């Protein structure tokens, strides 16, 4: 194991970032959680914040917000990696999108930065159902999405965090591309049925058109840039291109990935999906 001076985790309060930060803390390794509210602050949209966040950093976990599909992502990745290398960073670990052409362009930038690199590809997280935009519909008991029978190998954020943490601190992962998936392919209705079984609740799933979903988001006050991104994920990435299982988790960690049913059981036990929605 190489001696790590300090790790910067961009998106240090996000789904995978906060988990990686906690794992590094638990291992008694120095880590800086990069976020808008961090000390020093880090913001992808404000390049002036990058230098202080990179000071005295050896290794960086890169999670790009909002998504590699947005205009300017490749320019940001090139500028950030160049600045990181100039600051003395020796290893870059990138969370990339599985099946996204735009993400692969950013992967190439990291691979050509002139330092050690590890690429971790993942698509739909289990935690989108309890830590993101699907939480409120599940609490309400009615989930309407612009999907039909496309299958997705939902992957757990804890598995991603374990792979990333290993890549940050263990030399054997350098130069690897880990494509992560869960152990089963599930449609969204099947995933919702798993949650219904774990919670004992009657959850209704309805397939709608992208146009209907856009209308619901606009009516709910969702910003246009977020509407575009969600539509991209449902209509472009979720077209069957990722409907295969991969060996990234066992190849990296030597164990099987967590099954969605186990995720649903553990999450249901926390009572997250039984909470009442806030009154307006």
Domain-wise residue ranges, the chain: 7-125+155-181+243-257
Structure tokens at 51: 């230098």
pLDDT tens by residue, 91-111? 999 999 998 888 999 999 999
Q: Is the pLDDT of residue 183 over 60?
A: yes
Q: How confident is the model at residue 275 (pLDDT cuts 50, 70, 90)?
A: low
**Is the Cβ–Cβ distance between 74 and 81 less than 8 Å?**
no
Rounded mean pLDDT of 172-194? 98
Q: Is the pLDDT of residue 3 over 80?
A: no
pLDDT tens by residue, 52-95? 999 999 999 999 998 898 889 999 999 999 999 999 999 999 99
Q: How many whole angstroms separate alpha carbon 165 and alpha carbon 271?
A: 28
Percent with pLDDT over 90 in the chain? 82
Beta bridge partners of 17: none
Q: How many whole angstroms separate alpha carbon 194 and alpha carbon 1?
A: 40
Q: Is the pLDDT of residue 127 over 80?
A: yes
Pairing of strands 142-145, 177-179: unpaired
Q: Which CATH architecture has domain 7-125+155-181+243-257?
A: 3-Layer(aba) Sandwich (3.40)
**Is the Cβ–Cβ distance between 117 and 94 less than 8 Å?**
yes
pLDDT tens by residue, 85-94? 999 999 999 9
Q: How many whole angstroms separate alpha carbon 27 and alpha carbon 277?
A: 37
């Amino acid at each position: 194991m190489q001696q790590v001076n300090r790790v910067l985790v961009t998106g240090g309060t996000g789904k995978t970032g906060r988990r990686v930060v906690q794992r590094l803390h638990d291992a008694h390794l120095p880590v800086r959680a990069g976020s808008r509210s961090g000390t020093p602050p880090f913001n992808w949209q404000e390049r002036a914040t990058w230098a202080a966040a990179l000071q005295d950093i050896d290794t960086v976990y890169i999670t790009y917000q909002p998504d590699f599909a947005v205009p300017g992502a490749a320019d940001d990745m090139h500028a950030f990696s160049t600045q990181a290398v100039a600051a003395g960073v020796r290893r870059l670990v990138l969370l990339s999108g599985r099946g996204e052409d735009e993400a692969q362009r950013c992967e190439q930038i990291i691979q050509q930065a002139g330092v050690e690199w590890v690429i971790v590809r993942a698509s739909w997280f289990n935690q989108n159902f309890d830590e993101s935009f699907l939480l409120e519909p599940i609490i309400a008991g009615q989930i309407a999405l612009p999907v039909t029978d496309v299958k997705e190998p939902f992957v757990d954020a804890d598995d991603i965090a374990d792979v990333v943490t290993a890549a940050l601190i263990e030399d054997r992962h350098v130069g690897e591309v880990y494509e992560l998936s869960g152990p089963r392919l599930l449609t969204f209705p099947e995933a919702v049925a798993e949650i219904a079984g774990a919670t004992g609740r009657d959850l209704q799933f309805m397939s709608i058109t992208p146009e209907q979903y856009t209308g619901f988001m606009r009516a709910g006050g969702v910003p246009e840039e977020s509407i575009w991104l969600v539509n991209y994920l449902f209509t472009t990435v979720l077209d069957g291109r990722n409907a295969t299982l991969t060996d990234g988790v066992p190849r990296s960690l030597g164990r099987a990935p967590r099954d969605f049913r186990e995720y649903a059981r553990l999450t249901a036990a926390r009572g997250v999906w039984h909470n009442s929605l806030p009154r307006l």
